[in-house]
Structure formats: C-alpha cells, structure tokens
Amino acid sequence: MKIPAGEYFNRKSEPLLSAFDKMVKETQAIEHQDAACVRVGILRDYTGNEVQLAVAAFSEKYPDVELSIRRGNHEEIYRWLHAEEVDMAMSDQRRAFSQNYINTSLIRRPVYVEIAARNPLSGAERLTGSELQDLPMILVTAPGEEETEKAYYREIIGFAGDFLIAESLEQGRLMVLRDRGFMPVESAEMGETFETAVRRIPFMIGDGQMTKHYCVFYKNDNAGYYIEEFADMLKVQFL
C-alpha cells in the first residue's frame, strides 16, 4: 500500500521537530540560568557524603541554577519521578530498569547492622536475619509508607521479625542507642561520638553480605543539560 507523501513527511518530521524544540528550550535555559532549576529526589536514609559533594560542585559551576533536594523512601521517590515532581532520582534499585528512563549505576554498597554495644549480639562478626529476628528492625521511612518498606524487607530480604518506624536517621539512631532494635545502614564506619555505644556488623543474606545498588534515574523525554550535568557530577563522586 502506497503511503501518501504528506503522511510520510509528518511521520518522519515529528520526532525531529520534537528534538529541535527540546534543544531550543535547553539552549534558552542555559542562556537564562536564573530561571533554571534541577529537582532531585534522594533516599531519606542515605548516609554517604557523595550527594553533598556533587551539590557543592554543581553550585560552584552553576551558581545561578537552583538545585532542590527532596528526601523520601524508595517508593516516594519513584512516584515523584513518575509524576515529574522531581527531575531525577538517586535511589536504590528494586525494579528492572525501564527503557523510558536513563538508568545509570553508581555503586553497590554493603549493608551493615547498627546495634547497641550493650546488646549480646554486638560481639558477632556477622549477623543474619534469623539471628536478629527476636530484635525489631528499625526502618527510616515517612508516615504512610511503613507497610511498603516492611513488605520489601519481609518478601525480598526475608526478615521474619517485627519492625519499628523512625521518621529520620537521627530518630532511628536514638532507638539503637536505647537498644530498642537494630537499624540497617550502608557504611561500616561510625563517628567517634557513637563508636563506644554502637556497633556496625555485616548483615548477611544467604552466603553473602546484603548490598544496595544505588542508581541515578531520569526520564528519557525529560533529560536536559543541567540534569545530565548533575548526574555526571554524582557519577564522579561515586567513582
């Protein structure tokens, strides 16, 4: 069947016009930096300093571009990104990568158990979920997201014990210090303030230590100059 010339032209030119329109908008954003903004979703319980270093580098290079950081748990950040309430996300991978997003791996980080030094389990070299099931797991999450986080640790990680909820890392650590439960964290290092009161022990799943795979995500059709720049700066910090 012969395709009319006009229909063929429209079909072929539409993606080209869309790409041109996007290029014009990005060029205008670069020209008028004072109107540019990058909105980033970051995990609430993330403890590394890579994000802060990337923010500092970006702000030094583009002082007139607003950089907005919003913290949430995995599911909150996923919804924000899907609804375009944030431009990009730095989160742990819990789903298969989507072709609708730019998905960039940053690092796989081992998970540790943060536990009160006075707890009898604090002398162990490593701990499993079954060894910890009589002690509640402390989850740092927002109100309304508790069941989602619990389901992840029950169904994916296999933890069969009880849970306690903290709204911030600081609140979670106070629970640990009071020996109310243990908290999963992503670093082996403890600050001097807590090193005599808290222990960090590898959290084992099966034959290996649990890890979290951190990635940067942003939509294919929402990629822009400053979004890509900040993503590149994050990659540099994690490398």
Map out the domains of the chain with their CATH numbers: 32-107+214-238 (3.40.190.10), 112-209 (3.40.190.10)
pLDDT of residue 169: 85
What's the pLDDT tens digit per position in 92-146?
888 888 888 899 999 898 999 999 999 999 999 999 999 999 999 999 888 888 9
Residue percentage of the chain with pLDDT more than 90: 53
Instruction: Give the mean pLDDT of the chain.
Output: 84
Lowest mean pLDDT among 18-32, 36-50, 67-81, 138-152: 18-32
| Mean pLDDT of all residues in 177-192 | 81
Determine how many CB atoms are found less than 10 A away from the CB of residue 174: 13
User: How many helices and strands (H and E) does the chain possess?
Assistant: 7, 12
Under 8 Å between Cβ of 90 and 216? yes
Q: Is the pTM of this model over 0.75?
A: no
Query: Which one is predicted more confidently, 195 or 50?
Result: 50
pLDDT of residue 159: 93
**DSSP-assigned beta bridge partners for residue 91:** 215
Under 8 Å between Cβ of 231 and 210? no
Determine how many CB atoms are found less than 10 A away from the CB of residue 117: 15
